[in-house]
Amino acid sequence: MLVGLIIGLIVAAVAAGVAFSVGSKISAGRDAGALGTAQTRAKDLLAEAQRDADTLRREAAVEAKSEIHSLRQELEQEIKARRQELDRRESRLEGRETTLDQRDRDIDTQAKTLKEQSTEIEKRRDEAVRRAEEVDRQLQKVAGMSAAEAKGVLMRRIEDDAKRDSMTLVRDLETKAREEAESRARRIITLSIQRLASEQTAESTVSVLSLPSDDMKGRIIGREGRNIRAFEAVTGVNIIIDDTPEAVLLSCFDPVRREIGRITLEKLVGDGRIHPARIEEMHERAKGEVENEIRRAGEEAVLDVGITDMHPELIRVLGRLQYRTSYGQNVLKHLTETAHIAGMMGAELGLPKDQIRLLKRCGLLHDIGKAVTHEVEGSHALIGAELARRLKEGPEVVHAIESHHGEVEQRTLEAVLSQTADQISGGRPGARRETLETYVKRLEKLEEIATSYKGVEKTFAMQAGREIRVMVKPEEMDDLGCQVLARDIAKRIEEEMQYPGQIKVMVVREIRATEFAK
């Protein structure tokens, strides 16, 4: 219709143009011949326009048919695709319906089975209840009392019998204990001491090192005393060179530090090369050897007592006690002695083997805190208990350690026997001396006061406590700060300690610059 309308408009426009042209020519020329020619021309133009309009109409119709055909194909394809999608969805829905139907059937089957089982259980329970009631009726008929009454009578009889037996046992035990307690206690303690027969070696604060010749003393001192100053600064051990032929004395209250210094000087004398750099090198080697000796001593102590399952750190701390004394008594030997006494007391008391091993463990570890008392403030009993707790020792061992000096109330047999064995080991004649322990504590207090200040790297109490050397970190303290620190330490020593004579406080600030020539 649109194409026809367009063609009609074109024809009308052509006819109007032709008519206007013809009219113009007629009115201009008013000639009859020209009018005929114009009419003929108009007819020709009209025919030509009619032909063009027909042609356009046919082309438009063909184009419209082609477009309609294309649209129809697209529509058919879309309808086909949608029909296929609907078929797939319908297939899936049918599959789901089949699955749901099967599940419904399975659920119905299971519900039926459960219902049957529940019915069977109810029947069995009712039967059991009926039989129990029947048995109760028969028992009550025979006994002439109800079930509650029979239960009460039985419980009262059992309670009365238990009370009677327990009272009899307690009375017998008390009588026997009163008769044998004192004599048996004396026998146990006497046998424990007699069977142990441990030797006690009093430790000293001075070690003697033999020299191959007196000429070696000059090499130890060095030019203007630089070697001896370097040795004392590195090791913290005071070298005493006197008129004793072919021997020097090493003095230090800390036995571990003194042993390291002795081995260092022994290596230097054997090597023959003595200078500050060599002193530092030999000091590091000696520290390694002493550390190995500490570990070996701990392992031997554990093996001697018969304990195999102990934390390696505890073994190392035990080894450090080889160089620690308590009132002149070697602490590691005191611990092994205490462990043996505790084990013997437990054996004499008839305790089981597991409890005897536990007693030995408690005795061996009861003074373990003395190895770290110079590093941590507080009672060595509480410090040792915390160390044992941190290294996964049992609660019985921890309690025995923390209670052996009365800081904590004793609650177990192991704690009581460990304390008793400790007192036996330390209280026997010749085991301890008061003066050495007091002296060592005074030197430890000196070092503790100096170390408490900021910027201090190492402290050494020397000359039997008459001198303390304080090594400071040069990057944290200047020369003026060293003077202030020396005055503060001296003032604090005066306020907190009691000592004869005077104590020299020396603060050392040393800077070293090292480069390598290539």
CATH code of 477's domain: 3.30.70.1350
CA dist 515 and 505 (Å) reads 33
User: Does 331 fall in a domain?
Assistant: yes
- On whether both 322 and 342 belong to a single domain, the answer is yes
CA distance 503 to 486: 12
pLDDT > 50? residue 201: no
Residue range 72-106, pLDDT digits in tens: 888 889 898 888 988 888 888 888 888 888 888 88
Task: Say if strands 467-472 and 504-508 run parallel, antiparallel, or are unpaired.
Answer: parallel
440 and 426 co-located in one domain: no
Q: What is the average per-residue pLDDT within 31-43?
A: 74
CATH number of the domain to which 336 belongs: 1.10.3210.10
Nearest CA to 359 among 342, 335, 336, 338?
Answer: 342
The pLDDT value recorded for residue 200 is 43
Alpha-carbon gap, residue 93 to 178, rounded angstroms = 94
Q: How confident is the model at residue 456 (pLDDT cuts 50, 70, 90)?
A: very high
Q: What is the pLDDT of residues 110-161, one digit of tens each?
A: 888 888 888 888 888 888 888 878 877 777 777 666 667 777 777 887 877 7
CA-to-CA distance for 439 and 459, rounded, in angstroms?
Answer: 17
- 472 compared with 48, residue with greater pLDDT: 472
Cβ atoms within 10 Å of 330's Cβ, excluding its own: 22
| Residue 518 domain-assigned (yes or no) | yes
Other Cβ atoms within 10 Å of 288 Cβ, number: 11
| 380-389 average pLDDT score | 86
Q: Is residue 248 part of a domain?
A: no
Contact yes or no for 368/386 (Cβ under 8 A): no
Distances (CA, A) of 482 to 277, 453, 459: 25, 11, 14
Rounded CA Rg of the chain: 57
Q: How many CB atoms lie within 10 A of CB 56?
A: 15
Can you state the angle between helices 331-348 and 413-427, rounded to 10 degrees?
A: 130
352 shares its domain with 455: no
How distant is the alpha carbon of residue 180 from its chain centre? 51
- Do both 415 and 485 map to the same domain? no
Please indicate, yes or no, whether residues 510 and 483 belong to a single structural domain of this protein.
yes
Examine the domain organization and report whether 372 and 406 are in the same domain: yes
Does 174 or 398 have the greater pLDDT score? 398
Mean pLDDT for 12-19 is 54
Examine the domain organization and report whether 349 and 383 are in the same domain. Answer: yes
pLDDT value, residue 470? 92
Structural element, H or E, at residue 325: strand 325-326
Q: What are phi and psi of 367, to 5 degrees?
A: -110, 25
Residue linked to tokens 């070298």:
239
Q: Cα–Cα distance between 419 and 427 in angstroms, integer?
A: 12
Query: Given this model, what pLDDT does residue 27 score?
Result: 52
Please report, for residues 149, 255, 266, the alpha-carbon distance to residue 207 in angstroms, rounded to integers and kept in the order given. 86, 9, 12
Instruction: Report the 10 Å Cβ neighbour count for 323.
Output: 22
**Region label for 93, one of left (φ > 0), alpha (ψ between -120 and 50) or beta (otherwise):** alpha
From its phi and psi, is residue 30 left (phi > 0), alpha (psi between -120 and 50) or beta? left
Whether residues 442 and 411 fall in one domain = no
Same domain, 482 and 375: no
Residue 13 inside a domain? The answer is yes
Query: Residue 194: inside a domain, yes or no?
Result: no
- Report the C-alpha gap between 374 and 448 in whole angstroms: 8
Q: Which residues pair with 309 in a beta bridge?
A: none
Give CA torsion, residues 171, 420, 376, 232, to 10 deg.
Answer: 180
Structural domain total, the chain: 4
Q: Which of 38, 58, 82 is the last residue of a domain?
A: 82
Domain-embedded: residue 118: no
* Whether 424 and 447 share a structural domain: no
Q: What is the pLDDT of residue 434?
A: 46
Question: In this structure, are strands 247-251 and 456-462 parallel, antiparallel, or unpaired?
Answer: unpaired
Does some domain include residue 150?
yes
- Verify that 516 and 408 share a domain, yes or no: no
DSSP at 249: E
> For residues 502 and 282, which has the higher predicted lDDT (pLDDT)?
282
- 415 and 454 inside one domain: no
Asked if 501 and 466 count as a contact pair (C-beta separation under 8 A), the reply is: yes
Residues 460-469, buried b or exposed e (16+ Cβ, 10 A)?
A: bbbebbebbb
pLDDT of residue 168 exceeding 80, the answer is no
What is the DSSP secondary-structure string of 51-85?
HHHHHHHHHHHHHHHHHHHHHHHHHHHHHHHHHHH
Q: Residue 470 belongs to what H/E stretch?
A: strand 467-472
- Single residue among 49, 82, 115 that ends a domain in this structure: 82
Q: Is residue 447, in this structure, part of any structural domain at all? A: yes
Domain boundary among 414, 432, 450: 432
- The lowest-confidence range among 79-83, 147-151, 328-332, 403-407 is 147-151
Check residue 104 and give its pLDDT. Answer: 85
Which residue would you say has higher pLDDT here, 221 or 200? 221
Distance of alpha carbon 103 from alpha carbon 88, whole angstroms = 23
Please say if the pLDDT value at position 52 is more than 70. yes
Nearest alpha-carbon partner for 325 in 424, 497, 204, 420: 204
Confidence of residue 428 (pLDDT cuts 50, 70, 90): low
Find which of 182-186, 202-206, 322-326, 478-482 is predicted with most confidence, using mean pLDDT. 478-482
pLDDT confidence bin for 3, thresholds 50/70/90: very low
Domain range holding 28?
A: 1-82
- Residue 435: what pLDDT? 52
pLDDT of residue 2: 47
The CA distance from 195 to 342, in Å, is: 12
